[in-house]
Amino acid sequence: MTHGNPEFDLIARHFTRPAANAVLGVGDDAALVDVSNGMDLAVSTDTMVSGTHFFPDVDPENLGHKALAVNLSDMAAMGAMPYWAMLALTLPTVDHAWLEAFAKGFYDLAAEFNVSLIGGDTTRGPLTLTVTIMGEVPAGAALRRNGAKAGNDIWVSGNVGDAALAVAHRHGKVVLSEEDYREAVMRLYEPTPRVALGQALRGMATAAIDISDGLLADLGHICRLSGVGATVDLAYIPVSAIGARHSHDGPGLTAIVAGGDDYELCFTAPANARESIADLTDVLNIPLTRIGQIKRGKGVSLQAEGKPVKVDGRGYDHFSGT
């Protein structure tokens, strides 16, 4: 389809595929979706800016994956089922090979999660990607950040630190072997959103968040909104084999507890849910690890062998130092 207009050509060529879930997809002034009865619509947006959220030399296919993955992760953290995505693209130039690879990364992940791209916007400017995701969650059943209670356990899915270790390596703060870097950087570029886990935790978790800014910072958000504090035991924080090799030096430890970009879920649950949560590990084949406890008071304290541990940096803050 050619309109003789480069913007329309770009959209028609790269971002117009049938939207199985929508009443009306790309092409009109707005998309139309049919939200089921008894469901709340869950909506979230994430923007990624070149140089801030990704290295400018990133493989566009990885970037397409990541732009959608970080949004799917927000649906996971709410316990929502994602269905619809919007893509706002700001591009410095029109590079069809780049766009083709980007679209492949995006659509491949979308297909894996049965998500339809139903619209967006395309503009010229510094490379910036904004994805809006929408999904459904049974009315009143969404996992929120504000439900943690004193005495609850704190859990983390998978393991944390690899993505931040790859970034720290790129910045010369830690040195990974070539093989470790190659593996860790894939966690950075192609995170696995924990969508099935989020939905399975409905009615079980009292609060949940996805780890985008760092374990301590994101757990801190749960604490602040729930009006509680937390104690985390360093020895229990799950790390990969790569993480284990770097957890004993300062910058490595900082990457593990304060580095972002892992997109694992951190959630809280009462002690009587331990068995059901352990069962989820088997059903979903995702490690789930208990790392600490919610306490009365405020703030997150990190401990090792019962003594407080101080770590440099508490997670990524876009406006710190401004």
User: Can you tell me which of 112, 121, 249, 312 binds Mg ion, judged by CB under 5 A?
Assistant: 121
Binding status of residue 7 toward Mg ion by CB under 5 A: no
Binding status of residue 199 toward ligand ADP by CB under 6 A: no
Show Cβ contacts of residue 190 under 8 Å, excluding neighbours closer than 6 positions.
62, 65, 66, 69
Site for ligand ADP in 34-93 (CB under 6 A): 87, 89
Amino acid at 321: G
Show Cβ contacts of residue 282 under 8 Å, excluding neighbours closer than 6 positions.
none
Phi, psi of 126 (to 5 degrees): -60, 140
Binding status of residue 27 toward ligand ADP by CB under 6 A: yes
Partner touching 120 among ligand ADP, Mg ion, none, CB below 5 to 8 Å by kind: ligand ADP
Nearer to ligand ADP, 87 or 205 (CB): 87
Burial 80-100 (b: 16+ CB within 10 A, else e): bbbbbbbbbbbbeeeeeebbe
CA distance 7 to 19: 20
E strands, 127-221, where? 128-138, 153-157, 207-210
Nearer to ligand ADP, 28 or 282 (CB): 28
3-state secondary structure of 89: strand
Nearer to Mg ion, 99 or 280 (CB): 99
Q: With CB under 6 A, what is the number of residues at the site for ligand ADP? A: 13
Binding window for ligand ADP (CB under 6 A); candidates: 45-53, 70-78, 112-120, 204-212? 112-120
CA distance 151 to 291: 13
User: Can you tell me which of 64, 79, 120, 229 binds ligand ADP, judged by CB under 6 A?
Assistant: 120
DSSP percent split of the chain into helix, strand, coil, nearest 5: 35, 25, 40
Which residue from 287, 308, 290 is spatially nearest to 299, judged by alpha carbons?
A: 308
Binding status of residue 28 toward ligand ADP by CB under 6 A: yes
**Nearest residue to Mg ion, scored by beta-carbon proximity:** 121
CA distance 138 to 74: 16
Binding window for ligand ADP (CB under 6 A); candidates: 21-29, 46-54, 153-161, 297-305? 21-29
Min dist. Cβ of residue 14 to ligand ADP (A): 8
Nearer to ligand ADP, 46 or 180 (CB): 46
Nearer to ligand ADP, 99 or 253 (CB): 99
List contacts with ligand ADP (CB under 6 A): 11, 15, 26-29, 87, 89, 117, 119-122
Contact footprint for Mg ion (CB under 5 A): 121
